[in-house]
């Protein structure tokens, strides 16, 4: 039977600024990537998001980014591998204490924005992140793009890496994604949901150049700040269930 995890970036509000549809999205996902205060999020938001995840039986993951609140972590920064490792562990530690408050553990880590893309493209950066995570929690799972440096580093180091695809972003011929600052516009929920089914069951996706790429979909990202995200998440769940795909925690997949 086919299995897949549904994840969503969450906890990205900050002070009076609200981002995403966290409460609605919790109804549909199995894993929450929670911002840890560097690119977004604050202590109150982290705690509330952990509490929501616990209430909905959703697994908790760290979503660490560069210290870049103004740029929402989407700007590339110059940092050494050691500095990047410490950024990730610092943020993981903040989330871990709130998780303990609700008797929850941390299932996974998914770097955010520019940090994520740098780790996908640079094996040195990917290795620094993976080594740091493995030392503090050997069981933690890292989310990464197909055919990325992080997947290769994880394979060499014996660290579990879940291959991720995107429901609301375009893919390239390598299985990577096309980054846009505006996100995506949803015109047909059912069509996007069927694209997810194809990625999960057939391992295929139509690229931004209208070609077909091979992908492995162990976890699917649905961005909570995409307009109409809860409707898209429901359409995806319905489509997967119609096609006999089990929606489950990533721990049950890899």
List pLDDT tens digits, range 156-205. 999 999 999 999 999 998 888 887 645 556 678 999 999 999 999 999 99
The radius of gyration of the chain's CA atoms, rounded to the nearest angstrom, is 17
Total residues found in the chain within this entry: 254
Q: Quote the distance between the C-alpha of residue 158 and its chain's center.
A: 20
The pair phi, psi for residue 23, each rounded to 5°, is -65, -40
List pLDDT tens digits, range 130-156. 999 999 999 999 999 999 999 999 999
Model pLDDT, residue 208: 84
Domain around 65:
2-252
Question: Cα separation of 177 and 171, whole Å?
Answer: 4
132, two tokens = 């740091």
List pLDDT tens digits, range 40-91. 999 999 999 999 999 999 999 999 999 999 999 999 999 999 999 999 999 9
pTM, rounded to two decimals: 0.95
* Residues linked to residue 166 through DSSP beta bridges, in sequence order: 221
Question: Cα separation of 146 and 174, whole Å?
Answer: 7
Question: Cα separation of 31 and 232, whole Å?
Answer: 16
CATH of the domain at 101: 3.20.20.370
Q: How many domains does the chain have?
A: 1
- For the segment 204-216, the average pLDDT, to the nearest whole number, is 92
**Angle of CA points 195, 155, 138, to nearest 5°:** 100
Among 24-28, 184-188, 242-246, the range scoring the smallest mean pLDDT is 184-188
Q: Quote the distance between the C-alpha of residue 86 and its chain's center.
A: 20
- Structure confidence at residue 210 as a pLDDT band (50, 70, 90): confident
């Amino acid at each position: 039977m086919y299995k897949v995890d549904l994840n969503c970036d969450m906890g990205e509000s900050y002070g009076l600024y609200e981002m995403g549809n966290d409460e609605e999205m919790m109804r549909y996902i199995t894993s929450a990537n929670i911002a840890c205060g560097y690119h977004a999020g604050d202590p109150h938001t982290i705690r509330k998001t952990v509490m929501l995840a616990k209430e909905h039986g959703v697994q908790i993951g760290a979503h660490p980014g560069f210290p870049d609140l103004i740029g929402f972590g989407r700007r590339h920064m110059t940092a050494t591998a050691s500095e990047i490792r410490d950024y990730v562990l610092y943020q993981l530690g903040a989330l871990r204490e709130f998780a303990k408050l609700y008797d929850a553990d941390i299932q996974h880590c998914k770097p955010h924005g520019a940090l994520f893309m740098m780790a996908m493209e640079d094996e040195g950066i990917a290795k620094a992140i993976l080594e740091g995570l493995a030392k503090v929690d050997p069981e933690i799972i890292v989310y990464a793009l197909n055919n990325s440096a992080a997947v290769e580093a994880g394979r060499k180091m014996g660290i579990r890496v879940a291959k991720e695809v995107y429901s609301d972003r375009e893919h390239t011929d390598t299985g990577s994604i096309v980054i846009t600052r505006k996100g995506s516009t949803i015109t047909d929920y059912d069509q996007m949901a069927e694209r997810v089914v194809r990625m999960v069951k057939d391992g295929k996706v139509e690229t931004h150049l209208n070609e077909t790429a091979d992908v492995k979909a162990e976890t699917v990202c649905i961005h909570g700040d995409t307009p109409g995200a809860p409707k898209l998440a429901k359409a995806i769940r319905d489509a997967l269930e119609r096609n006999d795909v089990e929606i489950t925690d990533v721990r049950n997949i890899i």
